[in-house]
Chain A
Amino acid sequence: MTAEGTAAATPLVSVESLTLRAGRDPAAPVLVDRVSLEIAAGESVGLVGESGCGKTLTVLAMAGLLPADVSKAAESRVLFRGRPIEACEPSPLGREIGFVFQDPAGSINPVLRVGHQIAEVVRTLKGTSRSDAHARSLELLAEVGIADPAAKARRFPGELSGGERQRVGVALALAGDPALLIADEPTTGVDMIVQEQLLTLIEGLRERRGMALVLVSHDLAVVAEVCDRVEVVYAGEIIERGAVDRVLTDPRHPYTQGLIRCLPGRAGHGVRVAAIPGAVPVPGAWPPGCRFRPRCAHAHDRCQASPGLLLLPDARAARCWLVNEGGAP
């Protein structure tokens, strides 16, 4: 498949030069800097990076869910099926875009029964009757792998385990049968076994339903397991993109390389073999030129100037001067 070929069909979502600021003031700190990316129908894309680099904001903007205190620059565009997402009527939220939130406990209303909450969404989105919506909510619970859905539907979120709560979160996102599922750190706060189950579930659902998936994670391993394509984000910018297996085996950006080194060894879970020194600079304190420079082992004088996202073969790209010099150092 050529680059021209993908562009021919309208992507499901395309983000063009997305710039987000912390506030209305044009001088306010930039949180996300001219990010452009596209999600094609049925595709599964992972957004990877450390906390605070703008992954979550990017996907929130994709869904048109930006918090009130974050503003989008005028030239930024988020298109859903080729139309600005704000102009879509009815709103694609829920109907076309399902969103699974980072914190299942915080994103599900704690004072309403889970079955009721799912049925409420089904009724709103599908306009079905109360009893049909109820039946559908049980189906959805079953689909996300909750045992004894009828009993669990009567529970309050607080009465469920963390894994069950996240499954409910997925069910809520699926209630409108969306074409795109956005999952923002869906495995935060659950143990490895549950994480594994959830990822398997999400992968399975995507395949069965033919949905597109955007998975946000700080963990490259998670993305590697589920996604076809990966976008590595650092300090508000995309610094590397490409097919997952290619990026994993042949990372071109020193940051990606660092992330891969951080992966637990194949042999034992949870053992960090290496870490990238330093921390992600906070918005507003990004260094000029290459933003990874202060943490980079290969930093060089020319890194004073930003390299730009350099396109590579096989629909790959990386934001590093080194890529022109033929591969990884």
Chain B
Amino acid sequence: MTRRLRNPLSAAPTLLLLAACADEPREPVGATAAFCQDALARVEQYMATVPSSPSDSHGGTVVVGATAELDGGMMGLTTSDYNAHQHQVFLNLMTLVRYDDRLEPEPYLADSWEWSGDGTELTFHLRDDVYWHDGTPTTAPDVEFTYLRATDPATTFANPTYFEAYEGVEVLDDFTVRFHVRPHAQPLDTWRAVPIMPAHLLSEVPAEELRDHPYGTVCPVGNGPFRFSSHRPSESWTFAANPAFPQALGGRPSVDRYVYRIVPDPSTLLTELLNEDVDVYVSMRPDQAGTIETSGRARLLNFPARDYTFIAWNSSRPAFADPALRRALTMALDRQGMVDGLLGGRGAVANSGVPPVHWAFDPDNASALPYDPARAAGMLSSLGWEDRDGDGVREDAEGQRLSFALKFNPESELRQTLAELSQAQFASVGVEAIPTGVEFSQFLRDILGSDRNYDAFLLTYSTDFRVDDRDLFHSGSSDAGYAWSRTRNPGIDRLIDTLQTIVDQEEALPVWREYQAAVLEEQPFSYLFYPDRIVGLSARVQDVTMDARGEWVAVRDWTIPRDRRKYATPGRP
């Protein structure tokens, strides 16, 4: 035969070779390439000069597994992604203050702070021993830069309400910075949330380019306990212990290396945890908790957080205009049953957006709208909704059926189940809810669009430590994106306005109670539950504590005991 068929297998080594070539860190091309090369080179240079004296307990690699990318990476000025924000404030960057386990502010990058007598000047004194990972000291101009960029609309900072009461900034010296503010509630919460960014690297970047700047995902240079070492898109982020992290703040982390792995499929991720290829599985699906418990190969950790799941009622639709009807609908739902059945008891029934971990949470509210289908049915009848044609669904006097589409995004299995469960429970009081799954981006368009294309929808939302329902319920914002219930209640408006101006918590507490009662009465949402956050831990990782502050709050302390270390670490015997 003069011409042979090519051996098809000869392609395989070529492909492997190709992939092996891809191992070499790729140098980004384009105008921003120089920025990142330079920044990372200087980090390497500086880190080589830092004396690293790991103690015996230091070492090992901890691997976190999650289903999603850290969207926006370490760009603290634009992140709205929960996991990314956690990595910014607890690993790579620093905030001026942080919360202790009672959620009280304590010093972090700021050693101390003081208020002027009239409460309009907030002065921070920064630590002088915090360095950016390239060796540049972290100073007051960095704080000023962060503030100026965050308040510049072009930056598209993710939460402008943090700075609503701010009027200006002043750098007093290298380590002292002063803000001019109007008195407002929980003023330090802003500086717990907003990480300070490196002015020496980013001040030349135009504000409108910050969100998509490669600093965030290609070459972040922080000042926190972990420094960035690599990011493979959709695959992993790797951070290394920062030996220069101040001893006074606990010094370098216990582990040498921290890896955040992205495994989009929850079942695969569970296997990875059971195989100890992942040590910390964050945001676990509640139905997987049982597998962990029976496997004996990993352990569970769950803690109450700031999320809540609810059904929003579009009160501009005549059927849902009456608060009494909305209360009746809430009472038709067995919310404790949902917590027990769907969450395996890992959560609590919700009655407002104020979570149990919040200092103003009103525990007495919990029993206010009990699960009582008989009473709910009676209430619906007294409101004129009767099943007049015997089809099992109530109608009003005009024959309008009490029937609505309950939208949800089917990407969430939990909400899919929840929608079906609600459908059944509503049906038992003669209300027809039609579960309607809508792909997430279309779902967002439906619920955020000005045409309010929904009767009711299911969602899990997250509140801040500084609860502010203005976007949700204040009539002044009822045309804006998040005014899902289209609530127009002067009492609630007044309470929301008042709450944000009371600085003293003692003074605010009764107002908060009043507000929670008012929300209960109004029922703009049927609040269902506060789901706990569930985390799976492998036998390798120890000293893990987590609470409402987040999964990563104590990442510096996570330990892989010597006999559990299984990965070789570059540059360490």
B1 at the interface (CB under 8 A from A): yes
A interface residues (Cβ-Cβ under 8 A, vs B): 112-113, 116
Task: Name the A residues within 8 Å of B2 (CB-CB).
Answer: 113, 116
The CA-CA distance from A116 to B1 in the complex, in Å, is 7
Give the nearest-CB partner of A113 in chain B. B2
Task: Name the B residues within 8 Å of A116 (CB-CB).
Answer: 1-2
B1-42 contacts to A, CB under 8 A, are 1-2
B interface residues (Cβ-Cβ under 8 A, vs A): 1-2
Task: Name the B residues within 8 Å of A113 (CB-CB).
Answer: 2
Closest chain A CB from B408 CB (angstroms): 59
Give the nearest-CB partner of A115 in chain B. B2
The CA-CA distance from A191 to B248 in the complex, in Å, is 105
The CA-CA distance from A281 to B2 in the complex, in Å, is 49
Q: Count the A-B residue pairs with Cβ separation under 8 angstroms: how many?
A: 4
The CA-CA distance from A112 to B4 in the complex, in Å, is 11
The CA-CA distance from A113 to B2 in the complex, in Å, is 9
Closest 4 CB pairs of A and B: A116-B2, A116-B1, A113-B2, A112-B1
4 contacts between A and B (CB under 8 A): A112-B1, A113-B2, A116-B1, A116-B2
The CA-CA distance from A112 to B3 in the complex, in Å, is 10
Task: Name the B residues within 8 Å of A112 (CB-CB).
Answer: 1
Task: Name the A residues within 8 Å of B1 (CB-CB).
Answer: 112, 116
Give the nearest-CB partner of B1 in chain A. A116
The CA-CA distance from A113 to B3 in the complex, in Å, is 10
Give the nearest-CB partner of A154 in chain B. B2
Closest chain A CB from B1 CB (angstroms): 7
The CA-CA distance from A230 to B30 in the complex, in Å, is 87
The CA-CA distance from A112 to B2 in the complex, in Å, is 9
Give the nearest-CB partner of B3 in chain A. A113
Closest chain A CB from B4 CB (angstroms): 12
The CA-CA distance from A112 to B1 in the complex, in Å, is 8
Closest chain B CB from A139 CB (angstroms): 20
The CA-CA distance from A112 to B5 in the complex, in Å, is 13
Closest chain B CB from A117 CB (angstroms): 11
Closest chain B CB from A144 CB (angstroms): 22
The CA-CA distance from A214 to B1 in the complex, in Å, is 33
The CA-CA distance from A266 to B1 in the complex, in Å, is 49
Closest chain B CB from A131 CB (angstroms): 14
The CA-CA distance from A116 to B2 in the complex, in Å, is 8
Give the nearest-CB partner of A120 in chain B. B1
The CA-CA distance from A113 to B1 in the complex, in Å, is 9
Closest chain B CB from A113 CB (angstroms): 7
Closest chain B CB from A157 CB (angstroms): 15
Closest chain A CB from B5 CB (angstroms): 11
Give the nearest-CB partner of A112 in chain B. B1
The CA-CA distance from A44 to B2 in the complex, in Å, is 39
The CA-CA distance from A249 to B528 in the complex, in Å, is 110
Closest chain B CB from A283 CB (angstroms): 42
Closest chain A CB from B489 CB (angstroms): 83
Closest chain B CB from A67 CB (angstroms): 28
Closest chain B CB from A114 CB (angstroms): 12
The CA-CA distance from A172 to B377 in the complex, in Å, is 94
